[in-house]
Amino acid sequence: MSPSLAGCELTHLPRVPIDAERARAQHERYESLLSALGCAVVRLPSAPALPDAVFVEDTAVVLPELAVVTRPGAASRRAETASTAAALAAHRPLAFIEEPGTLDGGDVLRTGKTLRVGVSGRSNASGIEQLRALLAPFGYTVEAIPFSGCLHLKSAVTEVAPDLLLVNPSWVDPSRFGGARFLAVDPAEPHGANALLVGETVVHPESFPRTRARLEACGVRIETIDVSELQKAEGAVTCCSLVFEAAAAG
């Protein structure tokens, strides 16, 4: 967690003061929750000069067979990938998105062998095409998905159970996701679609009680967490981690 978080990139939100100490405490509770859910948490070295470095999700796409290190769409975030690559090299063969491609992991929604990638201000056609070419040999399909109104595709849709997507239908068309079942966020909580599935538990911001009630009505097991300061930086619960099985395939 960089002490310079308040200098983060912002696209859809106005800049408001961020309490760095509170943000740090929230991030520590997030790490503790992931540990309690069975994850071995590895924290990357602190990067005080990189305000958005806490949002590690954007710097890689980790699959069983390999990890693709991204080239983030925001120039200010490109230096973040070095520490991610160094840490992931212990777990996976690495591949890299190259210029002129850009890709943010927050735009990549994986369900099984299908990756849907939001076409955004951060992820461009070249980045998506490079991802497709890198993953085709492993049998993955990559589909470009238009969306609007939010920063990343996973601000608008995430997987909350096998074959169940949590969606803000004002930001992305649910019919784009094949035959998957979907649950809409409560309209009063447009940012409520970003949820992190860890095993069979969904980590969800505590600021979205109406959407939480909808999830619980579907039988989804939820752990809530206060991420108010990270939300001011246009982040939420998926963006602060890369969750994967430790052993690579094969």
Whether residue 152 lies in the annotated active site: yes
User: Which residue is listed with tokens 């930001």?
Assistant: 171
Would you say 107 or 220 has its CB closer to ligand CIR?
107
Residue 9 makes contact with ligand CIR by CB under 6 A: yes
Give dist(CA 134, CA 137) in Å, integer.
7
Give dist(CA 148, CA 168) in Å, integer.
11
Give dist(CA 104, CA 121) in Å, integer.
10
- Identify the residue among 57, 80, 159, 229 touching ligand CIR (CB under 6 A): 57
3 state DSSP class of 120: coil
Whether residue 239 lies in the annotated active site: yes
Would you say 130 or 158 has its CB closer to ligand CIR?
158
- Identify the residue among 8, 157, 193, 220 touching ligand CIR (CB under 6 A): 8
Residue 159 makes contact with ligand CIR by CB under 6 A: no
User: Please, where are the H alpha helices in 141-227?
Assistant: 153-156, 209-217
Burial label for 176, CB within 10 Å (0-12, 13-18, 19+), is middle
| CB of 49 vs ligand CIR, minimal distance in Å | 15
- Identify the residue among 1, 50, 53, 58 touching ligand CIR (CB under 6 A): 58
List of residues contacting ligand CIR (CB under 6 A): 8-9, 11, 52, 55, 57-58, 74, 77, 106, 151-152, 233-236, 238-239
Residues labelled catalytic? 152, 239
